[in-house]
Structure 1
Amino acid sequence: MLRVTFLLTGIGWGVVWLLTHTAVAQTANEGLSPALAGIKQAKVVKIGYRESSPPFSFLDQTGRPIGYSLELCKAVVEDIAVEVDDPALRIDYVKVTADDRIQAVVDGKVDLECGSTTANLERRKRVAFSPMIFVAGTKLMVPKTTTGTAPADFKGKTVVVTKGTTNEQAMHAVDAKFGLGLNFVVSPDHEASYQILAGGKADAFATDDVLLSGLIARHKSQDRFRVVGDYLSYDPYGIMFRKGDPQLAAVVERAFRRLGSNRDLIPLYNKWFVARLPTGERMGISISPQLEESFKALDDSAGGTN
């Protein structure tokens, strides 16, 4: 009889603890959206990174994720920490690819995707985006001995593209429009695409011009390859996060306005695109007037003056 009473008492205390713990958690998360409540409970922000998208998101010599997009995401994490009232939030880095990055955001595997992702209307049906962080477009990387630069010059040639990119779609559209009869090779990531071209298994590699320049710089292959042609697509980049979460969207927007009002965005840009990278390469890409105007608009919206 005493044993039964003891067990019941133990169960009772367990129920009390569970109810109390649940009530405390609910109180702590009160007023937070599902995404932010999940971050607060886990005490972690999951950041999706790319391994070979320099200078946006790539690995340094020690295998640590670094890059322009990742620094922007760290600034967003600072504002998330304020929103959830937890200055001790930590970051977990989650590797994503061009092909699985959008689904990773949709499924909640990452809270912020910090790579080189084009914010277009089709993708906005599934995910949300930060203010613009860069403007790029599809061009071709070719061996320096190649004389052609226009799409028509590559009729019947083999072009490598990275799976799940807007560049893959752009090249199929160009192929259909001009009847080029291109042969496509599809690879899982930009580094693999580069290696296919470098190995002589393709005549050109099509992706965003800045990523092509980054790969050439990283491989120190300026004497082997060059980026050619007119833009074949328009690709404004943004940080991806969960769609349908106005509170999280407001936090992301606030972080970018803070960076704009503090005049941090252009120095951050110059750190990754003009100065020498931590891995030793130099991109040497000055900020475009369009992106500079976008940054200025963030400053103006925060009440800044020029």
Structure 2
Amino acid sequence: MSRLFASAIALVIAGQAAVAGTLDRVRDGGVFRIGYRADAKPYSYRNDQGQAAGYVVDLCLEIAKAFGPKVRTEFVLVPPDQRFEAVRDGRADILCDPTSITMARRETVDFSLPTFLDGASVLSRSSKPVRVFEDFAGKRIGVLAGTTTEETLRGSLGELALKATIVPVPDHRAGFSLLSDDKIDAYFADRGIVMGILQEGGWPGFEVSKSYFSYETYALALPRDDGAFRLLVDRTLAQLYRSGKINAILERTFGKGEPPDMLKAMFLINSLPEK
């Protein structure tokens, strides 16, 4: 066997071991690394105390409990344009943010059972409202770069033959800042994130469209081809859904009230039995 061929085999084996050994790596190292976002409120964000918070982060903390008290949790802040690479390259064991499942993304990561349903809406000034796609014509539209939301915006404008200036931004705060400074006419983003930032206050004179421009299924991104770790994650989520404990987690982030029927149906469908 040539030295080059032997080296190639060794690299493949090492890569497979790195990908397939999340459970062993976490238990042996005593650290479970949760990737989260700075500004994807209310799902995944850094709060005023500098701590990771949000609905999806709370789900991942439930998963962390499955490792037992000997494993500590470490939070890894990941930028939106590097979040999947952070999981692929082992900087984070799991991605806990509002990530939409797509087939293209499954070339890089695997996904858990669905965790939430949301969709794109648009934020604009009440004096110059943007409420339907036809209102986008001739406007400057901000959107988070490298997301399915950006793909939806570009694709829909193309299909409708509408000419608008798309302004990609690195994070949601940057998009809101551009809108506040009147450098864009509207900001296109997941409705839950837009509402979460608006609820912080300080945004009088702005409105969110009532219409959804897309529907997104969120899930946790995991290392590819790691069935044992994915089983632990899915088992934890299914148990939360079956037991109804998911309602308390929802309430911590979204307040009291019945979840939308579509979200309740998603939890019911994914309440997989243990046996």
2:105 maps to 1:118: no
Q: 1:63 aligns with which of 28, 47, 50?
A: 50
Q: Which amino acid aligns with 2:75?
A: Y
Q: Distance in 2 between matches of 1:41 and 1:119?
A: 30
Change (3 A) 1:34 1:300: closer
The answer as to whether partners of 1:270 and 1:286 remain within 8 angstroms in 2 is: no
What corresponds to 2:162 in structure 1? 180
In the TM superposition, what are the counterparts of 1:168-247 in structure 2 within 5 Å?
168-221=150-203, 223-228=204-209, 230-247=211-228
The answer as to whether partners of 1:49 and 1:93 remain within 8 angstroms in 2 is: yes
User: Cα offset for 1:266?
Assistant: 1.6
The answer as to whether partners of 2:123 and 2:130 remain within 8 angstroms in 1 is: no
User: Cα offset for 1:64?
Assistant: 1.1
User: Cα offset for 1:185?
Assistant: 1.2
The answer as to whether partners of 2:120 and 2:190 remain within 8 angstroms in 1 is: yes
What corresponds to 1:150 in structure 2? 132
Q: TM-score, normalised by structure 1?
A: 0.79
Q: 1:297 aligns with which of 255, 261, 269?
A: 269
Could you tell me the percent identity over the aligned residues? 26
What corresponds to 2:6 in structure 1? none
Q: Distance in 2 between matches of 1:237 and 1:154?
A: 26
Q: Distance in 2 between matches of 1:62 and 1:272?
A: 16
Q: Distance in 1 between matches of 2:44 and 2:206?
A: 22
Q: Distance in 1 between matches of 2:232 and 2:207?
A: 40
| Secondary structure of the structure 1 residue equivalent to 2:194 | helix
What corresponds to 2:63 in structure 1? 76
What corresponds to 1:127 in structure 2? 109
User: Cα offset for 1:115?
Assistant: 1.0
Change (3 A) 1:298 1:152: closer
Once the two structures are superposed, residues 94-126 of structure 1 have per-residue CA deviations (whole angstroms, 9 ceiling, x without a partner) of: 111221111111111101111111112221222
The answer as to whether partners of 1:273 and 1:286 remain within 8 angstroms in 2 is: no
Higher RCO, 1 vs 2 (CA within 8 Å, ≥6 residues apart): 2
Number of residue-to-residue matches in the alignment: 257
Q: Distance in 2 between matches of 1:78 and 1:66?
A: 16
Shifted more, 266-275 versus 244-253: the winner is 266-275
The answer as to whether partners of 1:261 and 1:302 remain within 8 angstroms in 2 is: no
Q: Distance in 2 between matches of 1:274 and 1:120?
A: 29
In the TM superposition, what are the counterparts of 1:78-93 in structure 2 within 5 Å?
78-79=65-66, 81=67, 87-93=69-75
What corresponds to 1:268 in structure 2? 249
Q: Which amino acid aligns with 2:77?
A: K
What corresponds to 2:28 in structure 1? 41
Q: TM-score, normalised by structure 2?
A: 0.88
Unpaired runs of 5+ in structure 1? 1-31, 276-284
Q: Which runs of 4+ in 1 moved over 6 A?
A: none
